Amino acid sequence: MEDDCLDIAIINSSQQHIYIQIKEQIKAQIRSGKLAENEALPSLRQLAAEIRVSIVTVQKAYVELEQEGFIVSLHGKGYFVAPSNSELFREGLICEVEEHIHKAVAVARLAQMTDDEFLNLTKLLMEVGNDE
From the number of C-beta atoms within 10 Å of its C-beta (0-12, 13-18, 19+), residue 14 rates as: exposed
SS3 11: coil
76 and 91 housed in the same domain: no
pLDDT digits (tens, 9 = 90+) for 75-102: 999 999 998 766 777 777 788 899 999 9
Does residue 8 form part of some domain? no
Please give the pLDDT value at position 47: 95
Question: How many domains does the chain divide into?
Answer: 2
66 and 95 housed in the same domain: no
- State the CATH number of the domain containing residue 46: 1.10.10.10
57 and 96 housed in the same domain: no
In order of 35, 84, 107, the CA distances from 111 in angstroms are 38, 36, 6
pTM: 0.68
Q: Which residues contact 8 (CB under 8 A, 6 or more apart)?
A: 21, 22, 25, 26, 47, 50, 51
Does residue 109 form part of some domain? yes
Q: Which residues contact 60 (CB under 8 A, 6 or more apart)?
A: 19
Of residues 27 and 91, which shows the higher confidence score?
Answer: 27
22 and 62 housed in the same domain: yes
- Domain boundaries, position 106: 87-131
As a whole number, mean pLDDT of residues 28-39 equals 89
99 and 58 housed in the same domain: no
75 and 92 housed in the same domain: no
Does residue 6 form part of some domain? no
107 and 57 housed in the same domain: no
Please give the pLDDT value at position 90: 76
- Residue 14, pLDDT above cutoff 80: yes
Please give the pLDDT value at position 80: 96
Give yes or no for a contact between 106 and 119, defined as CB atoms under 8 angstroms apart.
no
Does residue 59 form part of some domain? yes
Does residue 91 form part of some domain? yes
pLDDT digits (tens, 9 = 90+) for 43-66: 999 999 999 999 999 999 999 999
CA 128 to chain centre: 23
- Residue 28, pLDDT above cutoff 50: yes
- Residue 3, pLDDT above cutoff 60: no
> Rounded to the nearest 10 degrees, what angle do helices 87-110 and 115-131 cross at?
130
Return d(Cα 118, Cα 6) in angstroms, integer. Answer: 38
Please give the pLDDT value at position 132: 56
Identify the bridge partners of residue 72 per DSSP, sorted by sequence position: 80
